[in-house]
Amino acid sequence: MSWTSIADLIAPSGDAEIALVGAPMEAGSVTPGRCDLAPEIIRKTLRRFSTYDVETGKELALRILDAGDADVKGVMPAEGFAPIEMAVARCTVDHDLTIVLGGNNAVTRPAAHALGVPLEKIGLITLDAHFDLRETDQGPLNGNPIRCLLEDGLPGRNICQIGLAPYANTAKMHRDAEAAGIGVFTIDDVREEGILEIIDEALDRLEACEALMVDFDIDVIDRSQCPGAPGARPGGMPVGMFFDAARYLASHPGVKLVDLTEFDPSLDVSDITALTAGRWVCEVLAGYAARTERR
């Protein structure tokens, strides 16, 4: 018997609640790789997921617009800012939720600007092993989107970073984050308190924000469960916790945009990371479906 896949919910035109847009940026990565391949691989992998969730007994029946990819292959982040912002903005205007498939983490900055509200009214949650607070003296890179956004005018109090890994950051980055007023939650905090409890703390901090964005940097996941993430470390977030976070955050009505970044298919083993990215899309869709059911 044939089944309906998640890919069958996606169309290049027509009315839709959710928009999907690729941002295949790789240039400007601290560790060169092929993150630009990720959007295409994730789309293909979605054919391997059915629309039925055996845990909840529910079938996903959402309409998803595939808005294509921003034209940023081979382009440095500074030059790629406008194409990504424009491509994402076309989606955020007409859709309740926009899913951005990166690309390296430099795509997060233009995506935030594409929300269409002033930066001081945007709340940003990151699930990431890193602060992404490298200096900007060499321009935007995948290692400094948070510092770039702070310099653009996003208040530090509007940012919460979850899953920060030991021995993957510097003391200066930590000091700078705290000085800016960023909510800092390490991977040990997550283990001790629980991912949903930490997310609730973050959402409470960002309660006054008009629109929320979540950056899911896939290198927050434990490296043994995510070989296609060059920045992932042993001891990172269990993949099941990552999925729980995706579903929970996507169910929040204030979340207007999510991105997935730092997946490098050229490093993947046995499609582990591709399937992780595909399952992340499923969890985001399931979270959004729960949001609409509560209306």
* CA angle in degrees (0–180, nearest 5) for 100-101-105: 90
3 state SS of 188: helix
| Predicted local distance difference test score (pLDDT) of residue 289 | 96
pTM for the model: 0.97
Q: Which tokens hold the place of 40?
A: 């295409």
Phi, psi of 236 (to 5 degrees): -80, -165
Rounded distance between C-alpha atoms, residue 76 and residue 273, angstroms: 25
Q: Which tokens hold the place of 111?
A: 């995506």
How does pLDDT run along the chain (295 residues), one tens digit per residue?
578 999 999 999 989 999 999 999 999 888 889 999 999 999 999 999 999 999 999 999 999 999 999 999 999 999 999 999 999 999 999 999 999 999 999 999 999 999 999 999 999 999 999 999 999 999 999 999 999 999 999 999 999 999 999 999 999 999 999 999 999 999 999 999 999 999 999 999 999 999 999 999 999 999 999 999 999 999 999 999 999 999 999 999 999 999 999 999 999 999 999 999 999 999 999 999 998 775 5
Other Cβ atoms closer than 10 A to 116: 13
| Predicted local distance difference test score (pLDDT) of residue 28 | 81
Q: Which tokens hold the place of 44?
A: 């293909």
Q: Which tokens hold the place of 139?
A: 């321009």
Instruction: Walk me through the domains of the chain, giving residue ranges and CATH numbers.
Output: 6-293 (3.40.800.10)
Rounded distance between C-alpha atoms, residue 262 and residue 241, angstroms: 18
| Predicted local distance difference test score (pLDDT) of residue 159 | 98
Q: Which residues pair with 65 in a beta bridge?
A: 11, 19
3 state SS of 171: helix
| Predicted local distance difference test score (pLDDT) of residue 3 | 83
| Predicted local distance difference test score (pLDDT) of residue 295 | 53
Phi, psi of 27 (to 5 degrees): -55, 145
21 contacts 99 by C-beta, under 8 angstroms: yes
